[in-house]
Structures are given as C-alpha cells and as structure tokens.
Structure 1
Amino acid sequence: MNAQLTPPNIGEIWPGQGGIYAGIVPARNGAEAYHLIIGEEIGRFAWDPHCDHSNASSLIDGQANTKDLIESGGDYPAAHAAAQHIADGHADFYLPAAAELYEAWLNLGYKDWGLVWSSSQRSANNAFSLLFVDGYQVNSGKNLELRVRPVRRLPIQ
C-alpha cells in the first residue's frame, strides 16, 4: 500500500490528508466502509434556516446531506463552510452526519472540542450535534452558532 494511503494511528494527523485520522466508519446500508479524516475546527456557524425542513435527514451519510443542502440553494452556513474547506490540497470535505461524528468520538475518545454540528436534520427547527467531551448527542436549534469540523473520507484499499 502507498505510504500516503497507509493510515497513522487513530488520533494522529494523517500527513497529506487534511486532518486527524478518526478511524474506519463501518459499512452500513449497502455503503462501503471508509477511513474518516476529521479536519480542524473552522469556526462557529448556524445550521439554518430555522423553521425550514430540508432533505438532509440521513444519520449516516454526511456527504449526501451536505450535497443536498448546498444544491437546494438555501442558506446553510455550516454546510457551506464545511464544503468550502480545503486542507493539504483536498477540497472534498463535508459536514459529517450524526453517526460519523459519533464514530469519530468513539475512536478518538475525549476531546475538548465542544458542541459540533452534524449535517443530520432532526426537524424543521433542530439538527443533531455532538458534545465531544462525553459523546452526548444533542438536538440543537438550527439558529445556534456551533462549531464546525469538516470531514472527508477515503476508500479502504
């Protein structure tokens, strides 16, 4: 395997891949397993728009959720910020789904990263977020400005 594609230990920066190696997201619902890389915190953004129901309801596929939010033409600051993130020359970042954030927490353990947005909508008024200190998943108001940590995925070869 190419040294660049050989993952480091979980929790270490993956050189040339744009962030910290957060482990393997297992295969689910017909989707292949993949390596998850979590980028640096890029700021605090609202999920928005509050009181609007989008199609971003997947709990496991943040890539599809982010694509849906952006292509809808709506004002979704957290999703746009994640999708615009570039690190180590990679521009394929997205806002992680609730399950991807939880998988990162399971693999990385305690991180004092605060409350981080997922791309998974809960209702017209709320979306899921995760408190990295203890892995608590929160149903947060979309108008709140929470942390955004974009992720990207790499196929397992």
Structure 2
Amino acid sequence: MQAPSISIKNLTLNIHASPKSSAPALALVGAALAASVQSDIPEIGQPWPGQGGINGGLVAARGDVPEHYLIIAAEDAGSHEWGRRGETSGATSKTDGLANSAILLEEGSHPAAKAASNYTADNLNDFYLPAAAELYQGWVNCPEVFAQDCYYWSSSQRSAHGAFHVHFDGGPQDGNGKLNALRVRPVRRLFI
C-alpha cells in the first residue's frame, strides 16, 4: 500500500501511519493546512489582494452562516437613501447583511442596498450592504478605512421610518431617517 500524500501549494506531506495511528497524522495534516491558509491572510485593515477590498476581520459562525472573513470594499459606493420611508421591511437582522440585502433588493426601491450589490472589485460581484453588526465590526477593527466625517448605512432596519447607521469618528450607532442620503460601503464574505 502506498503512503497517502497531500500537497498544499509548495508543501507536500507524506503520511506514513498505520490505520491505528492515523488520528495523529490527520491532526498534523490539519495543522499544516491551517498554517498554510493563515500565512496568506493580511493584517486586519490591510488590502487583501484578489478579494476586492480590505480584511475586516474574522466573523464567527452564527446560525446558518459559517465562519468567514469580512472583506470591506476599498472605497464607498456613493451616498444614497436607504429607501421606502414609512414602510416596514423584512431586513431586520443585525448580523446578516447578505440576507438583509437580498430582502431589500427583492422589495425594491432601496437605493443603498442596490448600490452595494452593484459594486464590483477584482472581478468579484458578491458585495452587499452590511448589517449593523458587520458595519460596527468595521469601526472596531479598522475605522481608519472609512471617512470620519459622515454616517454609513447598514442594511438593518430599525423602524418603518429609520435604519441603523454608524458614524466612524467615534462609533455611535443609531437609527436615521430612510430618506437621508448616507454613505454606502459594500462588504463581502470570504469563506476559508
């Protein structure tokens, strides 16, 4: 029987283990794979080549969404209204901006969500309007990549008349009228 081998980029592991001792060998493979993946990850707040933006940090698994990195677009997608003031939206998740954005796009007449979903970078077109917690993660991890003199929309509705936003000079998170034109910073997920 030939010993199995696994290649990871420029690293090849040959596993010489009997069936009884395969667990330690598999642990070694897992550790080598994790080390290989980790070496390619830029520091938080730094551009992530080929991923359309900046490393916004690791997001823990929650519900149906596995652990992933939040990629923050390198630039804003303009200033836009949230839309549909006076109407209740189904976009109420404070943590899942992708789900919120899908709801907003389906409902229609949500300019901020549309601008975020139309954003492309590095030939990637899976950007969306971040949920309140995702936008706040940007403020916690790398506020310097955002303009400091304005508010940014989240995709999380607060009421029929307002949605959550963050101001990046000090991090206040509050609700604002849906008809106000606030900045939009698209994000995307990178699963590893």
User: TM-score normalised to the size of structure 1?
Assistant: 0.92
Query: 2:128 corresponds to which residue?
Result: 94
Q: Distance in 2 between matches of 1:52 and 1:105?
A: 28
What RMSD in Å do the two structures reach over aligned CA positions?
Answer: 1.9
Whichever residue aligns with residue 153 of structure 2, its letter is: W
Does residue 34 (structure 1) correspond to residue 68 (structure 2)? The answer is yes
By percentage of residues, which structure has more helix? 2
Shift of 1:29: 3.4
Query: 2:85 corresponds to which residue?
Result: 50
Q: Distance in 2 between matches of 1:63 and 1:133?
A: 25
Shift of 1:105: 1.2
**1:95-134 map, 5 Å:** 95-111=129-145, 113=147, 114-134=150-170
Query: 1:75 corresponds to which residue?
Result: 109
Q: Distance in 1 between matches of 2:45 and 2:101?
A: 24
CA contact (8 A) 2:56 2:71 kept: yes
Change (3 A) 1:4 1:145: farther
Structure 1: 5+ residue runs without aligned partners?
none
Does residue 66 (structure 1) correspond to residue 101 (structure 2)? The answer is yes
Q: Name the count of aligned residue pairs.
A: 155
Q: Distance in 2 between matches of 1:154 and 1:121?
A: 25
Task: Please list the CA deviations of residues 116-150 of structure 1 after superposition, one character each: whole Å capped at 9, or x if unmatched.
Answer: 00000001000000111111102110000000000
Change (3 A) 1:87 1:112: closer
CA contact (8 A) 1:22 1:36 kept: yes
Structure 2: 5+ residue runs without aligned partners?
1-7, 10-35
| Aligned-residue identity in percent | 48
CA contact (8 A) 1:46 1:144 kept: yes
Whichever residue aligns with residue 173 of structure 2, its letter is: Q
User: TM-score normalised to the size of structure 2?
Assistant: 0.76
CA contact (8 A) 1:55 1:68 kept: yes
Instruction: Report which of the two structures shows the higher radius of gyration computed on alpha carbons.
Output: 2
Whichever residue aligns with residue 148 of structure 1, its letter is: V
CA contact (8 A) 1:85 1:150 kept: yes
Query: 2:190 corresponds to which residue?
Result: 154
Shift of 1:71: 1.4
CA contact (8 A) 1:111 1:132 kept: no
Higher RCO structure (Cα 8 Å, ≥6 apart): 1
